[in-house]
Amino acid sequence: MSASDLHDIEFRSVTKRYGDVTAVTDINLAVPKGAFVALLGPSGCGKTTCLRMIGGFEQPSEGDVYIGETRVNDLPAYRRPVNMVFQHYALFPHLDVENNVAYGLRQQRPRIASDEISRRVGAALEMVRLSGFGRRRIHELSGGQQQRVALARAIVNKPKVLLLDEPLAALDRKLRTDMQMELQSLQRDLGITFLLVTHDQEEALSMSDLVCVMSAGRIRQFARPQEVYDRPADLFVADFVGKTNKMTVTAEPGILRLGNGATLPFAGPERGPAVLALRPEAMRIARVGTGDGPLVGHVTHRIFLGSLAEYSVAVAGVGEFLISAERHGLDANDLIEPGEAVSIDYISEAIRLYPA
């Protein structure tokens, strides 16, 4: 089996410059067939540039882009088996839903018979749960419905790959969550490769099979969501995906030495100065007297989140920790007040160390 049997999209050493600006540098990425992949990173890191090079709206300055086994560097956008959905759906306001979805099919040469077009438009509208909305004008639809029309238009000509550039960014939170689930089901039903650009880490973690974390034009990690969260490749990823407590430590045999001279038991092989990263939910907080964690501090701030409470805890000579405590709603006395003295424990297997 050749690599192209397994991969729908491949970047081989791709660099893209716009004049003096290098948007992406030496990108190597192989997207498995039928996967839902999220490109995640802060504004300006090069996500959209990658998508546009697949779509055919930009050409690489160096390197090659493959779709299946075809090198597509010089292939015009309209000849690529991909479609793109944008944040601003770019629907035609003067056309009804059906004609918006049919538009691309009507442009195709050789011509497609009109009953075939109707059949495909009907099927696409059914996929996005908009059957019966064909005659509606675009302005008579909600934001979520408009987004689904844009999706129907993008899948109606059966692309191999669907590119989604922040397609949910304009929707409110509730609608976003609904649409996230719908997109996942749609991808499963269609069985085609989805590549989603987002700067929202929750969206990336919850929707995709694989997350590609980017920063400053480079890929920092490409892995399953759980792997990215549990074993961030570097401190950038640890910080960008989820919340992380960071602290400078010195690793010695059996212990980590902290700023105030305190030590924590540690079984890892690392030695010397390092930065420790620990997730807030891997730490435990208890009122002094009721817990016996190795660090003692006091609560400086509390954020109540219903099922969770997040505490900032200052430990003298060491620093401030963010600790997230799950609540079960059984104990009326479970919330700790700012100012209270607490002890801190942690799950030592959750400690990650990075070069200082």
Beta bridge pairs of residue 222: 212
Number of amino acids touching ligand ATP (CB under 6 A): 12
Could you tell me the smallest distance in angstroms from the CB atom of residue 46 to ligand ATP? 4
Tell me the C-alpha distance between 214 and 232, whole Å.
12
* CB of 21 or CB of 341, closer to ligand ATP: 21
Could you tell me the smallest distance in angstroms from the CB atom of residue 101 to ligand ATP? 26
Distance of CA 106 to the CA centre of its chain: 35
Binding mask 26-55 for ligand ATP (x = CB under 6 A): ---------------x-xxxxxxx------
Q: Judge whether 101 and 122 are in contact, CB under 8 Å.
A: no
* CB of 44 or CB of 319, closer to ligand ATP: 44
Q: What is the CA radius of gyration of the chain?
A: 25
Peptide bond between residue 110 and the one before it cis (omega within 30 degrees of 0): yes
Q: Judge whether 129 and 164 are in contact, CB under 8 Å.
A: no
Q: Does residue 225 interact with ligand ATP by CB under 6 A? A: no
Please, which of residues 195-214 interact with ligand ATP by CB under 6 A? 199
Could you tell me the smallest distance in angstroms from the CB atom of residue 346 to ligand ATP? 34
The 3-class SS string of 114-134 reads HHHHHHHHHHHHHHCCCCCCC
Beta bridge pairs of residue 295: 344
* CB of 213 or CB of 344, closer to ligand ATP: 213
Which range in 7-15, 17-25, 74-82, 146-154 contacts ligand ATP by CB under 6 A? 17-25
Chain residues that interact with ligand ATP, rule: CB under 6 A: 18, 21, 23, 41, 43-49, 199
